[in-house]
Structure 1
Amino acid sequence: MEKNGQKKTDPADSWDVEEDAVITPEDEEVEDAEFTEGEATPKVSKKKVVKVEENRSKREHVNVVFIGHVDAGKSTIGGQIMSLTGMVDKRTLEKYEREAREKSRESWYLSWALDTNQEERDKGKTVEVGRAFFETDRKHFTILDAPGHKSFVPNMIGGAAQADLAVLVISARKGEFETGFDRGGQTREHAMLAKTAGVKHLVVLVNKMDDPTVNWDQTRYNECKDKILPYLKKLGFNPAKDLTFMPCSGLSGYGLKDQISETLCPWYRGPAFIPFIDELPSLNRKSDGPFIMPIVDKYKDMGTVVMGKVESGTARKGQNLLVMPNRTSVAVDQLFSDDYEVTSVGPGENVKIKLKGIEEEDVSPGFVLCDATNPIKTGKIFDAQVVILEHKSIICAGYSAVMHIHCAAEEVTVKALICLVDKKTGEKSKTRPRFVKQDQVAIMRIECSGMICLEQFKLFPQMGRFTLRDENKTIAIGKVLKVVE
């Protein structure tokens, strides 16, 4: 403890921080100029400090994850939105278009705004969760472009764990919707994972409406809608409150920023996508609680930088925090909210935080950055209520799978089955079941292979819901009832 105290009072240290915070390339020129004239410079710095003092984004932050089957058009819609809101300039897009034409992939150029690495561009498949942002007058949206391919579902879960709003993209093109929605397609699994990740609202974009096989045909739109609606209801989405369907075309941009013209689509007179999500009611964020941010990713950049979404509380520059479950003390060196440097961050923001006091190799995705005085719970054994969604054989004690909870993936084993829960009445069985099978709900004791950060679902839903996956399939979803220390 003394060390920390010392650090704070050492004037040299605090001066460094001030200097770091304030010197920008423009200032450096000013300082040099002033030195040549033989004048003192701290004045400049001091003025700047005042300016830096309260620097954080004013607009409400909303994280939007784009999910759906391979080739439904998620990255293209994301790229088109960035182009329509002026986040990618015309010249860059023309460059992408040229490069795409050289590879005879003209229709992919918009997705290159989000699929930035070479492998993703060559194959036309998103692998990692792409990130970008765009702003309206009222809100700041972070786009999380999730991969559609079933081999990359673990990456997609990491993206959905950070989202407040999910956009399920389905292709109206003949045959493509069916492939995505039938067994083995990713449309079902993604919708379900979004629900478990705690997404508040789901927008279903019926894309490729301008395709020659569709040509803005209302019957095709309704067919796609009617097929998928019962499944979404079964997952627990309420069509009246948290579910919206819209036709659009990602490639031409119709239906994204402006309402579709009446000549093209006389039967849909609803709002376009961007104005609609801009009008959605504000999310209630916990800004007064202790600071909690699950770490999604990390990298080295003159220090250790961690990325993630702030789930609760606020953090400021220079603050001391803990990295759990390792209990490493760290200090906040720099804060970035969607690539802009700020002095403090709050709930709902997608941030990068540069830390002092920890090496990059000592951090793993799934660790949690939290308040030093009020750290998050950690444990290896916990009781949970689990719904078995899709599993051919039975599950009994000793069964193991991979658990995804917030941003962490950990191997777990079922230690004991405690009781079954009746789906309709919620009553618990008096006797211990010997096994559970598909469509049953059970309370079980689960053991993790290592220490993880988790919280009771009813205290902190974001840190208490999880999915179990086995052999590349999501087999169950669950919530943590209690952590057995």
Structure 2
Amino acid sequence: MNPQASEFIPSWLASSAQQQQQQPEAQTSWEDEDAAPGQVVQPPVQELSAVRISDNTPDTKPKANNIDSQPPVQKAPKGDAKRKESTANEKANQAANSAPDFDPSDFDLDEKKPLNVVLLGHVDAGKSTISGHLLVLTGNVDERTMDKYEKEAKALNRESWKFAFALDTSEQERQKGKTEECGQASFTTETRRFTILDAPGHKNYVPHMIGGASQADIGILVISARKGEFETGFERGGQTREHAMLAKTSGVRQMVVVVNKLDDPSVTNPDGSWNEERFFECKKKLEPYLRNVGWNPKGVVWIPVSGLTGDNLKHKPPKEVCDWYDGQSLLDTLEHLRPPERLLNGPVKMPISEKHKEMGTMVMGKLESGVIQVNDALVMMPNRVEVVVDAVQLEGSTAQAAEPGDVVRLRLKGIDEEEVRVGFVLCSPRDLVSYTRSFIAKLMILEHKSIICAGYSAVIHIHAAVEEVSIVKLLAELNKSGKAKQRHPKFVKPGMKCLALLRTTLPVCVEPYDVFPQLGRFMIRDEGKTVAVGTVARLQSD
């Protein structure tokens, strides 16, 4: 079930040198079974080369900066728009040839490294309450503001929602008590700069959850221990399962499972203390599924908490509340997790997740690679517009530079807000990101009411981009070891793995997974369900 597993790379896409070597039997997942909890385990790097396929598809892969093969996506020409486009292209090419190498010593970067955390789980599991309570415990919501939230919650006869109001800011979210957008907040500890992404738990808002997960390093899967609520979230159709799977596919590297509401009367012991049996009952039921979708159980941390009382969020609960848990609190656990390796000296790559006008064109996204500072000259892809960074904002404050892992807001000069779309990528002139409408992908079919054939259309989520996509050709069905089981199958169905040629309606910025994983993994959704997950194997020219 793990689309990033080495078994998911077909042997007939491997290089000739690899084919000559005796390959060991593939494991069910690339995760190191001996990895210690909290340790980041990197997937193996696979080498893909051109491969001839008997369907006359091109066997050459576009280079990372070969973008002339696709028509640029621009707003409708007006006046001298064509001349401006030509000038922008010339400037971009000149910058690419003259850009100096990046030197990290030139920047005064924050010693506290960024760590982005997304809270996942079924609706009403307590994600927003935990997020808001963490902000209170870390001093990011003052007493006066908290009093205001409490009065507003009481007015709705929902006093337990008071902490959730710190992230559920819209009137509609507060009236319904349900998160609809992916809320965001930040706090700083002695060692880290945390960005909290509070994902909605309702199945209607899964696209917003995917957007949050694609920016996260750490996932906190919140499950409710309340009688009946855990079972509802974990049953087929509940979001506990889908969120755990989508987090893995989105690139979340580490998972913490928080068992919430252990203080609820439906599960507490007769003396009011937390029930150890209920905690381990939830763990026993969920752990096999997490393994099945690719999470290494040895690297998953399980923590009992009460989001409402705050027990075990920052401080350990009193012994009379819980005397059987001897691990760290949630905040201590987050502080001791090792952040992923950052591409500090790499070229800038930043998918755009939001845009708006605010004294100019403002864009927001997670900086995946490189450093961005004020006055940097960058290029917006795929429309190849040269821009200049006018301002950098981190956690709502002005900054001089942003580093990999930062969820950053930028004010840009040289581009109108109408020229930017969510899913565009800001990049270095010396290393323009690839873009295409067609690519070969390795797919794992998860759920669909019928068989899937060539011509099937759905929606693809790839980094921040969301586009319509169709399966042009099914190239091969793959077995567990990644070898071609059948060339050009007539159809695929749930549980099958395949190699397919995909085509999007509009060009998207992508890279092969083995070149830049953050731009090479995706999900395909249809009728409110995740139909398939996969990785980009090779780019194609239309």
What TM-score, normalized by structure 2, do the two folds share? 0.79
Match of 2:415 among 358, 368, 388: 358
Alpha-carbon displacement from aligned partner over 1:64-93 (angstroms, at most 9, x marks no partner): 000100000000000000000001001100
2:115 aligns with 62
Shift in Å at residue 316 of structure 1? 1.4
Aligned-pair CA distance for 1:422: 0.4
Of residues 476, 483, 486 in structure 2, which corresponds to 1:419? 476
**Paired residues of 1:55 and 1:342 also in contact (CA < 8 A):** no
2:461 aligned with 1:404: yes
The aligned runs of 1:124-203 (5 Å cut-off) are 124-203=177-256
Higher percent of residues as helix: 1
SS of corresponding position for 1:384: strand
One of 302, 311, 314 as aligned partner of 1:245:
302
Greater relative CO (CA pairs within 8 A, separation 6+): 2
Name the CA distance, whole Å, in 1 between partners of 2:291 and 2:528.
24
CA contact (8 A) 1:292 1:312 kept: yes
Deviation per CA, 1:228-282: give whole Å up to 9, x if none.
Answer: 11100001100112x1111000000001101122211111111100011101123
How far off is 1:56 after superposition?
Answer: 4.2
3-state SS of paired residue (1:184) = coil
Q: CA deviation at 1:429?
A: 2.6
Rounded to whole Å, the distance in 2 between the matches of 1:96 and 1:87 is 14
Match of 2:522 in 1: 466
Where 2:122 maps in the other structure, the secondary structure is: coil
Structure 1: distance between partners of 2:304 and 2:158:
24
Contact 2:217 2:339 in 1 (8 A): no
Partner of 2:452: 395
**Structure 2: runs of 5+ lacking an equivalent:** 1-85, 92-105, 269-273
Supply the distance in 2 between the matched residues of 1:205 and 1:126 (Cα, whole angstroms). 18
**Residues 478 and 150 from structure 1, CA distance in 2 versus in 1: closer, same or farther, beyond 3 angstroms?**
same
Query: Is 1:429 aligned to residue 485 of structure 2?
Result: yes
- Tell me how far apart the structure 1 counterparts of residues 405 and 247 of structure 2 sit (CA, whole Å): 17
Whether the 8 Å contact between 2:373 and 2:401 is mirrored in structure 1 is yes
Given residue 198 of structure 1, which amino acid in structure 2 is its aligned partner? Answer: G
CA contact (8 A) 1:456 1:481 kept: yes
Q: In structure 1, how many angstroms separate the alpha carbons of the residues matched to 2:486 and 2:250?
A: 31
3-state SS, counterpart of residue 223 of structure 1? helix
The one-letter code matched in structure 2 to 1:441 is: K
Deviations 1:372-399 (A, max 9, x none): 1211000000000000011121111000
Secondary structure, aligned partner of 2:303: strand
Please state whether the residue corresponding to 2:442 is helix, strand or coil.
Answer: strand
What is the CA distance between 1:459 and its match in structure 2?
0.9
2:270 is the alignment partner of 1:217: no
CA distance in 1, matches of 2:158, 2:374: 45
Q: Taking structure 1 as reference, are residues 5 and 275 closer, same or farther at Cα in structure 2, changes over 3 Å only?
A: same
Structure 1 portions without partners, runs of 5+: 7-52
Change (3 A) 1:248 1:239: same
Structure 1 residues 472, 430: closer, same or farther in 2, change over 3 A?
closer
Match of 2:500 among 435, 439, 444: 444
SS of the aligned residue for 2:262 comes to: coil
Deviating more after overlay: 426-435 vs 372-381? 426-435
- Counterpart pick for 1:101 among 154, 158, 182: 154
1:233 counterpart residue number: 291
Q: Is the 8 A contact 1:56 1:342 kept in 2?
A: no
Alignment of 1:331 with 2:388, yes or no, is yes
Aligned to 2:322: 265
8 Å Cα contact 2:88-2:385 kept in structure 1: no
**Structure-1 residue corresponding to 2:535:** 479
**Contact map agreement 2:88 2:386 (CA 8 A) in 1:** no
Distance 2:452 2:89 in 1: 49
Q: Which amino acid aligns with 1:451?
A: P
Could you tell me how far 1:55 is from its partner in structure 2?
5.6
Query: In the aligned structure 2, how far is the partner of 1:404 from the partner of 1:164?
Result: 18
Q: Secondary structure at the match of 1:383?
A: strand
| Cα displacement (A) at 1:346 | 1.0
CA offsets 1:191-241 (integer angstroms, 9 cap, x no match)? 111000111111000000100111211111111111111100001100112
Aligned to 1:294: 351
Distance, in Å, in 1 between the alignment partners of 2:89 and 2:400 is 20
Which one-letter code corresponds to 2:173 in the other structure? E
Q: In 1, Cα distance between the equivalents of 2:359 and 2:339? A: 37
Percent sequence identity over aligned pairs? 50
Any residues of structure 2 matched to 1:112-131 within 5 Å, and which? 112-131=165-184
Indicate conservation of the 8 Å contact 2:478/2:486, yes or no: no
SS in 2 for 1:240: helix
Distance 1:477 1:422, change over 3 A: same
Deviations 1:159-210 (A, max 9, x none): 0000000000000000111111101111111111100011111100000010
1:464, 1:269 → 2: CA distance? 40
In structure 2, what residue type is equivalent to 1:455?
E
C-alpha RMSD of matched pairs (Å): 1.6
Match of 1:34 in 2: none
Count of residues in correspondence between the two structures:
437
Give the counterpart letter for 1:384 in structure 2: A
Secondary structure at 1:429 match in 2: strand
Letter in 2 for 1:165: I
The aligned counterpart of 1:384 is 441
Identify if the C-alpha distance between structure 1 residues 4 and 395 changes in structure 2 by more than 3 Å, giving closer, same or farther.
closer
Residues in 1 aligned to 2:462 and 2:172: alpha-carbon distance in whole angstroms: 28
Distance 1:212 1:268 in 2: 19
SS state of the match for residue 172, structure 2? helix
